[in-house]
Amino acid sequence: MPNRTPRVLYIDDDPGLARLVQKAMERRGYLFEHAATGEAGLARIALGGIDVVVLDHYLPTGTGLDVLAAMATLSDHPAVVYVTGSAETAVAVAALKSGASDYVAKSLDDDLMELLASAIDHAVERVRLNRAKLLAEREIREARERAEMLLGEVNHRVANSLAMVAALVGLQANAVQNAEAKNALAETQARISAIAGVHRHLYTSDDVRTVEIGDYLRSLAGELDASMKAAGHHALINVEAVSFPLATEKAASVGVIVTELVTNAMKYAYRDTQQGEVRIRLVRVGEGVELRVEDDGIGWDGTGTPQGTGLGSRIVKAMAHSLGATVSYGGGGGTSVSLRFAG
């Protein structure tokens, strides 16, 4: 109600009292309107612009409580000062429970106008504060929606830019002749694609602060499967991942870890047979998350010299550190790598 004169609607079938109330309200600088019935009052309220309703209990049809009940369906209804007989305490209590902000006992002395005016003043201030609060909440909500829309657009552009970088790295890998350099560039391309996938999921998500990790891992596994098969590695990738929102930065770290572990398994676990399975498993464990990547290949327990340059193992440890997790290697046949972190 900023910069606007408050408007008071008086609902009562007593024209004499209505004139007295009108004079008292106009002396205080309020705009005044009168409705003789509850139906007329509700019709006027529905048009909007009323800040405070002064509502008499006894009306030509029904009572003021009926009007209060009808007003309860309005999203932004005026404050109500309920007027009752001096001995009708139970009615006043019922009115307050039904949504009235205050009540005044009707009397024949001069105090009635002063009490009524004071109650209306308080109601006007309450309406002013409530509407200011609603306005602030709406502005905050709209600002948040604009920020999320802009952040979604940023993620869209970042995903596209990273995809372009990954494609350029792939072209460079195809152009070089040295096998070691070609492999290094292909691995770099996979790492960039994993992070691009996070941003791609962010701009299609309702909440840009999180990624649905199960959906993301299944999408990532599909991309890894296609790229590894193109490189001549044909092990099957199997994903078992529950779907829940995971913070963006954690999802990016998980994506890089999975990319490294799956790539290593595809390249080294089944080097002789080219057949087998790589399993990605991500589940909730209490308040945390457990990630496990395993295969049935030649096996490695995390000790000794790793296959290749060892860069992948160092990247996995660095990403695990960012998650506050420790990498563990399981025993038995094949390789099993697991880590737990707060979800």
Give the model confidence (pLDDT) of 36-82 as tens digits. Answer: 999 999 999 989 889 999 999 999 999 999 999 999 888 777 889 99
Q: What is the mean pLDDT of residues 265-278?
A: 78
Give the separation between CA 100 and CA 72, rounded to whole angstroms. Answer: 10
Which is more confidently placed, 209 or 50?
50
Task: Examine the pLDDT at 88 and tell me if it is beyond 80.
Answer: no
Phi first, then psi: give them for residue 111, nearest 5 degrees.
Answer: -70, -20
Contacts 24+ apart (CB under 8 A), 152-155: 152/202, 152/203, 152/208, 153/203, 155/199, 155/200, 155/202, 155/203, 155/208
User: Contact at 8 Å (CB) between 299 and 339?
Assistant: no
Given a cut of 80, is residue 242 above it in pLDDT? yes
DSSP state for residue 305 in the 8-state scheme = P
Cα separation, 164 vs 341, whole angstroms: 32
Query: How far is it, in rounded angstroms, from Cα 246 to Cα 181?
Result: 35
Cα–Cα distances (Å) from 306 to 64, 231, 309, in that order, read 83, 21, 7
Percent pLDDT > 70 in the chain is 92
* pLDDT tens string 301-315: 767 666 666 777 888
Which one-letter amino acid corresponds to residue 93? Answer: V
Q: How confident is the model at residue 109 (pLDDT cuts 50, 70, 90)?
A: low
CA 303 to chain centroid, in Å, comes to 44
Average pLDDT over residues 321-325: 92
Q: Identify the residue with better confidence: 282 or 123.
A: 282
* Rounded-to-integer distance, Cα 260 and Cα 314, Å: 10
- State which amino acid sits at residue 294: E
Could you tell me the strand order of the sheet in which 336-342 lies?
236-241, 277-285, 288-295, 336-342, 328-330
What is the per-residue pLDDT for 308? 63
Q: Say what the pLDDT of residue 209 is.
A: 79
Side-chain half-sphere exposure of 94, counting CA atoms within 13 A? 14
pLDDT-derived band at 3 (thresholds 50, 70, 90) equals: low
